[in-house]
Homo-oligomer: A and B are copies of this chain.
Amino acid sequence: MARRFDTISFLSDYGHADEFGGGVHSVIRSIAPHVTVVDLVHDLAPFDVRGGSLALSRAIQYVAPGIVLAIVDPGVGTDRRAIAAEVGEDGEGILIGPDNGLLAPAALMCGGVTRAVELTNPEYRLVAPGPTFAGRDVFAPAAAHLASGVPITALGPEIDPYQLRPSLVPLPRSDGDVLIAEVLWVDRYGNCQLNLDPDELAPLGDVVGVRVGTDPRRSAKRVGAFAELAPGQVGLIVDSYGLISLALDQSSAADALHLHPGAEVRLEALA
């Protein structure tokens, strides 16, 4: 028997309107009743592999030791591979999900994949009436069996960790004196996380010009807390992941600035 795990951290785009997430929980509970499932987030935008990979890369630093089950899987039923990937020293963690780039940034943050398999062994899958719910029929049983001490190599053939599908995380770039960033994430409160760390922003000063599309330029103030902002004032804050976020106090920066994930934001020093 291999190492056992008692936590499975679970992220998906299943939402809450259907029993998809409940089905995954049920299968894990049936196979590995000793496991606690920690729900990370399930209201990711449907089919949004990039958004899911970013959410997972934010969460991964904090998940409890064990297994991570991540499912945003528009290619379900095709020949996209279902995989389990060991990460960390001595395979101390395992990421499970479709090989479509969803797992890649999180794997990188864990130091890279040390061993990976494709989940093909029917002994560790459920017999599926149809091919559309791999979460319940493929991924959940794999997670539960791994948690119960089944060796990863029993789940299917080893595959080359360097051949896993990567994910493209955008980097900020410069256009003359303008810093061009991208919105990675709009959270519930309308805060807009940029692909920008504080060091990159520092040269622009404490009040920064912000342009979105053809909207008029706004000025944004570097602050340490939302409540330092006046009503309607745009702020730039170091967020809880150490990146720069555009924010308003108790109001949505995404609404005020017409921003969405993937939108381009141009930042410049104010003369």
Contacts and interface: CB of A to CB of B under 8 A. Distances in A.
Contacts of A226: 74, 76-77, 132
A225 B76 contact: yes
A175 interface: no
A237 B26 contact: no
A75 interface: yes
Contacts of A27: 62
Interface stretch (A36-44, A83-91, A108-116, A148-156): A36-44
Given A74-B250, A238-B130, A22 B41 contact: yes
Nearest to A239: B130
A221 interface: no
Interface stretch (A3-11, A161-169, A210-218, A262-270): A3-11
A65 B240 contact: no
Contacts of A187: 17-18, 20
A225 B78 contact: yes
A20 B237 CA distance: 17
Contact of A59 (B19, B36, B40, B62): B19
Contacts of A234: none
Nearest to A56: B19
A250 B73 CA distance: 10
A129 B26 contact: no
Interface in A190-238: 191, 224-228, 237-238
Contact of A241 (B55, B129, B189): B129
A238 B133 CA distance: 11
Nearest to A24: B62
A43 B16 contact: yes
A40 B26 contact: yes
Given A30-B65, A38-B26, A130-B239, A58 B224 contact: no
A172 interface: no
A60 to B, nearest CB: 9
A239 to B, nearest CB: 5
Contacts of A26: 9, 38, 40, 59, 62-64
A132 B240 contact: yes
Given A29-B64, A130-B239, A241-B130, A19 B136 contact: no
Which 10 residue pairs across A and B have the least CB separation, nearest first? A77-B225, A129-B242, A133-B240, A22-B40, A29-B64, A130-B238, A15-B188, A19-B41, A17-B43, A26-B62
12 contacts: A17-B41, A17-B187, A19-B58, A20-B187, A26-B62, A26-B63, A29-B36, A47-B189, A77-B225, A78-B227, A129-B240, A130-B240
